[in-house]
């Protein structure tokens, strides 16, 4: 009789071992082996350990999901907080200057984009688009401007400066602005409006990636203002992309 009872318990513990073992395999694939080692510690005091292990797995998976959600929401908050500056009347006059540079780019046989940088010491530097005349597809107005600015201004001045551009900077130009450490960007025409104007030529004519996203992914503190509703910003493109 005693032997029977003992073999029944041996059978039970064998079943438990299988159950807990398969639970561990499932848990390892979910949460990784480091956490599993902790749970194994709990489970050594079976049968109290197993429910604790289940609770620990549940809590850990839940915490991991909550943390991931919180991180995602942080990115959104950062994107919004980059909108802390608005387009002032002074900004608008500088945007009109940038659009005038875009008009000059077009008159010189290039694409109708222009940018200027205004430093707190009164320095004003212009950047035209040179894609056609230089034969360099990376000759965007902002990238050209950033190269010029970086050669002329210190890092401190760049940080305190504002870059004005006729159209929202593309991902490449946003990257250049980010690496140069320019503190603020103000743009007139949004990228999506440009995308609607430019026909699909060879491959993708524009990138559908807002500059705020590029800056936020870099974790930088570039503040962005725009789009600014200025009729001249769209007018400078009129008839250019039709052919
Ligand atoms: Zn660009």
The per-residue pLDDT for range 100-159, each reduced to its tens digit, is 999 999 999 999 999 999 999 999 999 999 999 999 999 999 999 999 999 999 999 999
Task: Specify the pLDDT at position 181.
Answer: 95
Query: Ligand 1 mean position to 26 CA, how many Å?
Result: 48
User: What is the arithmetic mean of pLDDT over 207-226?
Assistant: 86
End-to-end Cα spacing for the chain: 97
Choose from 52-56, 58-62, 124-128, 237-241 the range with maximum mean pLDDT. 124-128
pTM: 0.66
Choose from 12-21, 43-52, 100-109 the range with maximum mean pLDDT. 100-109
Query: Ligand 1 mean position to 142 CA, how many Å?
Result: 6
User: What is the arithmetic mean of pLDDT over 27-38?
Assistant: 67
Average pLDDT, the chain: 83
Q: Which CA distances in Å does 63 have to 29, 38, 56, 70, 202?
A: 17, 16, 10, 10, 47
Q: What distance in Å separates the CA atoms of residue 108 and residue 139, rounded to the nearest whole number?
A: 14
Task: Specify the pLDDT at position 8.
Answer: 57
Examine the residue annotation and report whether 142 is marked as an active-site residue of this protein.
Answer: yes
| Exposure letters 164-195 (e unless 16+ CB within 10 A, then b) | bbbbbbbbbbbbbbbebbbbbbbbbbbbebbe
User: What is the arithmetic mean of pLDDT over 18-43?
Assistant: 67
Query: Ligand 1 mean position to 189 CA, how many Å?
Result: 13
The residue ranking higher by pLDDT, 82 or 208, is: 208
Query: Ligand 1 mean position to 90 CA, how many Å?
Result: 24
Q: How confident is the model at residue 219 (pLDDT cuts 50, 70, 90)?
A: confident
Task: Specify the pLDDT at position 128.
Answer: 98
Query: Ligand 1 mean position to 170 CA, how many Å?
Result: 4
Residues in contact with 211: Cβ distance below 8 Å, sequence separation at least 6, in sequence order: 168, 169, 170, 171, 173, 174, 177, 185, 187, 191, 224
Task: Specify the pLDDT at position 179.
Answer: 95
Q: Is the model's pLDDT at 41 over the cut of 80? A: no
Q: Is the model's pLDDT at 215 over the cut of 80? A: yes
Instruction: Name the residue with tokens 């908050």.
Output: 77
Q: Which of the residues 142, 204, 232, 238 is marked catalytic?
A: 142
The CA radius of gyration of the chain, in Å to the nearest whole number, is 30
Q: Is the model's pLDDT at 79 over the cut of 60? A: no
Q: What distance in Å separates the CA atoms of residue 17 and residue 23, rounded to the nearest whole number?
A: 10
Task: Specify the pLDDT at position 81.
Answer: 45
């Amino acid at each position: 009789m005693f032997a029977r009872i003992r073999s029944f318990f041996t059978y039970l513990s064998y079943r438990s071992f299988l159950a807990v073992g398969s639970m561990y395999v499932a848990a390892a694939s979910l949460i990784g082996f480091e956490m599993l080692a902790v749970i194994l510690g709990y489970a050594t005091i079976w049968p109290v350990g197993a429910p604790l292990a289940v609770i620990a797995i549940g809590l850990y998976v839940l915490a991991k999901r909550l943390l991931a959600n919180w991180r995602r929401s942080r990115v959104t908050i950062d994107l919004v907080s980059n909108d802390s500056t608005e387009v002032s009347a002074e900004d608008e006059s500088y945007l009109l200057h940038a659009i005038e540079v875009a008009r000059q780019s077009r008159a010189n046989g290039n694409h109708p984009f222009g940018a200027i940088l205004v430093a707190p010491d009164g320095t004003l530097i212009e950047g035209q688009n040179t894609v056609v005349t230089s034969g360099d597809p990376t000759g965007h107005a902002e990238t050209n401007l950033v190269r010029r600015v970086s050669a002329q201004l210190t890092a401190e001045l760049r940080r305190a400066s504002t870059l004005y551009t006729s159209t929202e900077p593309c991902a490449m130009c946003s990257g250049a602005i980010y690496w140069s450490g320019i503190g603020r960007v103000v743009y007139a025409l949004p990228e999506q409006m440009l995308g609607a104007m430019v026909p699909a030529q060879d491959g993708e004519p524009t990138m559908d990636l807002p500059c705020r996203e590029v800056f936020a992914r870099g974790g930088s503190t570039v503040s962005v203002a725009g789009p600014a509703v200025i009729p001249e910003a769209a007018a400078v493109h009129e008839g250019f992309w039709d052919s």
